[in-house]
Every structure is written in C-alpha cells, then in structure tokens.
Amino acid sequence: MSKEIKLALVYRDMWQSSGKYMPNVDELVSVAEPIIEMGCFDRIETNGGGFEQICLLKGENPNESVRKWTEPFNKAGIQTHMLERGLNGIRMSPCSKDLRKLMFRLKKKQGTDISRSFDGLNNPQNLELSFQYAKEGGMVAQGALCITHSPIHTVDYYISLADQFISLGAEEICVKDMAGVGRPASIGKIVKGIRKRHPDLVITYHGHSTTGFSIVSSLEAARNGANIIDVGIDPLSWGTGHADLLSVHAMLKDAGFTLKDVNMDAYMEARSQTQSIIDNGLGYYINPQNRFLNSLLIESGLPGGMMGSLMADLEKNINSLNNWLSKNNKDQLTQDELLIMLFKEVEHTWPSVGYPPLVTPYSQYVKNLSLMNVMQTIKGNDRFSMIDENTWSMLLGKAGQLPGQLDQKLILLAKSQNREFYDGNPQNLYPDILDSFREKMKENSWETGHDDEELFEYAMHPGQYEDYKTGNAKKKFLEDLAKRRSQETIENTGPSPSAISTQPKQLIVEVEGNKYEVNISYSSAGNRNDKKKESNKDHIKSASTSDKSIKSPLEGKFYLTKNSTEKAVSVGDQINKGDTVAYVESMKVMNAITSSEAGTVTSILVNHGDDIDEDAPLITLS
C-alpha cells in the first residue's frame, strides 16, 4: 500500500511572503469556503507571524479576524495552525513570560489548533516555554527547525536539534526552509535521520520557492518520511512564496504517494477570489519581482518571507542614496545594482555576526546591517559603523547564544562602546508586563476584551494598538492606498504637465463595502517634509557658524531616547566622540546616532518623534 501524504495550505504565509498587507476579515471568510471545498487539505495556516500586527496597521481588529477566519475550518474538521517566534511571540522583539502564556491560551480559544514555534537562532532554551505553554493551552506543540546553508548548519546539526526540541516537549517537527536554500538531498537526509529516531513523529516540510529548490525538496522530504507538505496556490505561489498545490500534488501522485483529490472548480474559485483581493488594492503592496524565482538568493540565503519588505526598503533607500551621490557628483545607482551589492554584502556580514539562521527577526537584522554597510562604504565610511540596537542585542547574546563565532572586530567594537555581553537565559531580561498594561487600559477606559484578547493585543503590539484605537491606523492606510491608486493613474496616462498639476487632493476609497473620503499629500514644495526642511534651515541659521552638526545617517523617525529609562541629551551637555546622542527608527529597528566628534551641545534641531531625511542636521556642537 502506498504511503499517504497530507497537504497544508499556508494561506497567511502566501500573503506575507508577497507583500505588506493581508486580506480583511470578510475577504478571508469568503475565500475559506472554496478552500474547504477543494477537499485536499488537512491543515490551513490561518494566523501568527505578522498577521495580527498587519491587521492593526490596517485599522482592523485582529481578534475578530482570527476568530471568524478559523471558524469555518474548525467546523469542517480541518486543523488550523499559527506561526510563533518563541521568545518574540508574534512580534519582532522579546516578550514577557505572562504575555507568551496568555497568547497560547487565547489563540486556542480563538480557534487555532497547532502552534508552529521557531526560534530565530535555533535555541532550544528559547522554545521550552513555547512547547510548555502551547500544550497547557490545549494546542499541539510543533517545533520548527530553521533551515539554512552554512558550514555549521549540517545534517547532523539539524537531526540533533530535533532531538533537543522533542526532549523539551515538541510533539511534532517542521523542517522550515524559510529561504528555500536547503539543498534537496540534505533536506531528505534531515527528514530521514529524524524519522529513524522517531518512527511515529509527525514531520512537516515547509519550503519557500525563492531559489527553485523547494519543489525537489518536497519530493525528497516525502520519500524520506515526511507526513505533511506545505503548499501555496496561484496567484501567490512560486516566487518568494511556496510551490503550487497542483505541481506538488501531481509530482507526489506520480511518485506513488496517496493524496486526496483536488476539486478543480473550487481551486479556480479560490484562485479567482485571491486575485480579486489583489486587484481590489493589496496588489499595490506586492512587488512584481516577488513573483519570480531568484537564484541569486542561493548564496545570500535571504528568506522569501522578508523579500516584500526588502524591496520596499530598497525603494526608499535608493532615493536617499542617489540624492547623496548626486550631491557629491557621483554616478547614481539603479535599484537592481543596489540589490546585487546587498546580496554580496550579506555573504560577508552573515559569517561575521555568527551565522544566525536567516529567519525573522534575524534575517531583517542581517539584511539591515548589510544594507547599512553598503551605504556607509559607498559614502567612504567603515563597515559596521552603523549598527542598530536590535542587532546589538543579538550580537551581545541577549537573544541567546549565536550558532557561530562573532567576528573579533565586532567584539572589540562592542567593548569600545562599553557594551556588555550576556550569557544567561534571555527570558530573564523581560519581566511580566500584563498588569501594567491592564492599568493602562483602565486609564484609557478600554475594555480588556473577551478572554483578555484586547489586553493581549495591546501588550503584544503597543504602538500599533494605540494607532488602531485612535483611528490613526485606518486613516493612514486609506490615505496611502488612495495615493498609490492616484499615482498609478498618473503613470498610466503619462507624465504630462497637466496631469501632474491636477493630482487629486481627495479621493473616495471603498474598503469592505464602506466608502471613505481621504486627503492625499504629494512630494512637492508645500508638503510637510519640505516645510520641515525649511524649518531646519532656520534653526541652522540661528546657530553659530562655527558649530558642528550631527546629521541623520538615514531616513526615518527621530527619537531622543529609545525608552523611558534613558536620559535625553540636552543643550549644554558635553559629548564625546562615539557617544550615542539619539536614535532613528528605520526598517523596523532602532538605529543609534553617534557623534563623530566631541563637543558641547548648542542646539537640538528636531523634535522627538519627527520624521527626518537622510543627512538632515539634528544636533549642533561647539
């Protein structure tokens, strides 16, 4: 009798690997019916990762989305699963124990059956509580091995890692090839090794298509003992997403495996509805390049899940960089040229920072650091002259032990900045916080919600939740969507002077059947950024001509401190060379702004929370 292979649809990951936003709850519920009628899926990935944060950014209630989205699959007897990041929960930064414990209890009550837990450094220590809390909350605890390709990430390394996860409580194992760089033969050997030691264990293979390996790896995993293969569906399969259901199904069936049949009418309906969601607006946030395979990523190893944000970062930084190049009479770069430079730099940066698996959040840290290295060296500065605070936490051991050795230059750099390395349990650095957030909600007259679900969202995503509650998130999303739509109209009609001069100031945007009137601003002499520049110039004129200015190393949001425990610099303070004087938030991380020389602060030119441009003067010294 041939072996049965089950299939799982990673519908959440399909979207997150393609762009910035997810469908709204009505769209998700609508597409659930044809997904169920396809009849071939035993599991559906419904939430986790950035899902709930993205809901908040759109001004939508993530708890309503999870409950309504999982309900039809629960009724149909199809298991649902979520992705969680161990110490980081479902965000980019570490969580307290009480918040992590609440998450698993809550998500089970909201309809999620399985927790796929991974640690970005593959640290078993960071996942022990995830396995414990998942089972206590009634969920299946699945441990994910973050697959990457390096001299230290060998077949034996991963087989041993699976043993450690299982000994700590993992009930299933997922071979998670988030960048699609796992070589098919090695994937097969890893699955075979785990199967030999654990004959009855459920093993899932999850591989992104980015480099082209995953379709072969799916076959190798199945042949060597995997029970479940994750797949995507068109129009969000392949590229930075996952191998398409139809290809995987046909391949495995031809290889002699037993699989449930696919209802093609339902497949076409799910495909059509997904395309409609794209056409209705979310396509504006999907870079067309994410639909293609890219063998250039084989060496850099950057994952498909972050390619959407990567292309957005490149778009923003290429403009800033080209402005600098133009000012300095140097040739400008294309986005493709900057992308290739980034890939090459990752090959240098990644070993230097100890080979962290390139998965959220560490893929972002390595990408950000590599991009900063590229931009700094172009400007004549040293490598690692710009390291964000999140990356420093990783380098110092505050997220756990790095898989490889840290470059000696970075060790010396840390010591020169009086940074201390940490070798304890990272969880101990983050005390419980739910009581304090409960008090904040009481002060704001906000309900903690059914099963404390609103309390959970606030504690997990404080800034985004506050924007959601005030309505700012919805307003920003609708304005941005309207701007993108109007820009597309202008591009399609050509850049005639009349078209440019008549850009709409207001548009009616329809979302979820509701119509909203939104105001639109454009990059012009009268917009807020230009007014800010004029204001900055006035400040500079008022400063002494002998003053030296500290400028912003990149575009972002300016902060004098990164948290309430720090003391902000003020006029009259003495600054030493290398001192951190402020921060700029960019590419999801906090970057320290350091002084290149000593002096006394004579003026601070921008306010805490202001948006700033690259090279904008921030602080003057005498």
Q: Which of 60, 45, 15 is nearest to 111 (CA)?
A: 45
CA distances from 76 to 33, 40, 43, 70, 455 (A): 10, 12, 11, 10, 30
- Those residues with Cβ within 8 angstroms of residue 141's Cβ, 6 or more apart along the chain or in another chain: 115, 117, 130, 131, 132, 134, 135, 169, 170, 171, 172
In tens, the pLDDT along 43-93 reads 999 999 889 999 999 999 999 999 999 999 999 999 999 999 999 999 988
pLDDT classification of 523: cutoffs 50, 70, 90: very low
Highest-confidence segment of 114-118, 239-243, 577-581: 114-118
Q: Are strands 514-519 and 556-559 parallel, antiparallel or unpaired?
A: unpaired
Q: Across residues 216-220, what is the average pLDDT?
A: 98
Most confident listed range (381-385, 467-471, 499-503): 467-471
Domain with CATH 2.40.50.100 in the chain: 528-621
Tokens of 484: 């993108």
Task: Write phi, then psi, for 56 (nearest 5 degrees).
Answer: -60, -40
Rounded mean pLDDT of 345-361? 90
Q: Which CATH architecture has domain 528-621?
A: Beta Barrel (2.40)
Answering whether pTM is above 0.85, one says: no
pLDDT at 52: 94
Cβ atoms of 550 and 618 within 8 Å: the answer is yes
Distance (Å, rounded) from C-alpha 85 to C-alpha 93? 9
Partners of 592 in the beta sheet?
Answer: 583
Whole-angstrom CA distances from 77 to 44, 70, 205 are 11, 11, 22
How sure is the predictor about 535, in pLDDT bands with cuts at 50, 70 and 90? very low
